[in-house]
Amino acid sequence: MTAMETDAQRPTVSVIIPARNEEACLGDCLQSLLAQSGVLFEIIVVDDHSTDRTPEIASSFSAVRVIDAGPLPEGWTGKNNAVTAGARQARGEWLLFTDADTVHLPGSLARALTEAQESNADLLSYSPEQIAVTFWEMATLPVIFAELARQYPPAMVSDPASPIAAANGQFILVRRAAYETVGGHGAIAGDILEDVALARVVKRSGRKIRFRYAPDAVRTRMYRNYRQLRDGWTKNLALLFPKPGWLAVKLLALWIIPWIAMPLAHDGHWWWDPIWIGSFLYLTTRLRRANFKWDREILGALFGMPMFAYLLLRSKRAHANGNVPWKGRTYSDKTHLLAAGH
């Protein structure tokens, strides 16, 4: 089998990439996908009213099909509209929804398809390896992903007997027949958190989903500066955690304990104080689930926890006010588009 289809062959997988102003990362993503082997596939980039060089970059790859997302229907999020447009054009038996900021490791597409088939999963989602470069990426991401792993344990997500469902929109491989039966992204048209919403719809229909951390398959750098990180997690956090305010208070309280213990340490030797040592070790071990190296766990324990608490509260307030900005558009909580900028 060759990677790309011939005119006489139908692709097994249709890779669908929604792209809105992704000139910084789209080229690397497409190169990694075009290098895949072991499965027949097509690649569809859906340009979602980009104002940068996104369409030009996508069109520079002759094997990539570039389509327009079309007008944004009332009540839809931009991403849901874009991936739906891509799904309509797709010809594969399986659909891979992936983001423009991902890089796919060699052979990962064929391996993912085999994993989905062998596990009898109608939906397979990978949580990519997170690339962190700037200080706030390195400090904040370990805390966020540790808490996500606590809220959505992959083993429970993958357990048909558990009601917990989750997916990561950076990599969702779904059987086309199952996707269409549950209504696709049209069934969750207004959901800002479309990946988790789609997983819930699929799991509630009685179909199996599989979810795991997959550094062997895909990696991503989600946000490239502080503002992107702040706005991106403001969009998502209040929807990912059922009680964001309570979680923020809880983590701040845990974070404050070592700093209270420091001046109370005997003879001022706080680094030997058992309360300080115990509480700081607890903070760092709490971050182990995030799959980051130890130095990032220390940064997270020192600086990431208060930042995460701030983002939780910021997200809660934005959703409560019905004012969630993202990529030139403003959304209300879950269902309504307030304004669109193209």
Per-residue pLDDT tens listing for the chain (342 residues) = 345 555 457 899 999 999 999 999 999 999 999 999 999 999 999 999 999 999 999 999 999 999 999 999 999 999 999 999 999 999 999 999 999 999 999 999 999 999 999 999 999 999 999 999 999 999 999 999 999 999 999 999 999 999 999 999 999 999 999 999 999 999 999 999 999 999 999 999 999 999 999 999 999 999 999 999 999 999 999 999 999 999 999 999 988 877 776 665 555 555 556 666 777 788 888 898 889 999 999 999 999 999 999 999 999 999 999 888 888 888 875 444 444 333
pLDDT at 341: 39
User: Over 8-21, what HEC string results?
Assistant: CCCCCEEEEEEECC
Burial class, 249, CB count within 10 angstroms (exposed 0-12 / middle 13-18 / buried 19+): middle
Domains of the chain: 13-128+168-224 (3.90.550.10), 227-340 (no CATH)
pTM confidence score: 0.90
Bridge partners, residue 173, by sequence? 96, 124
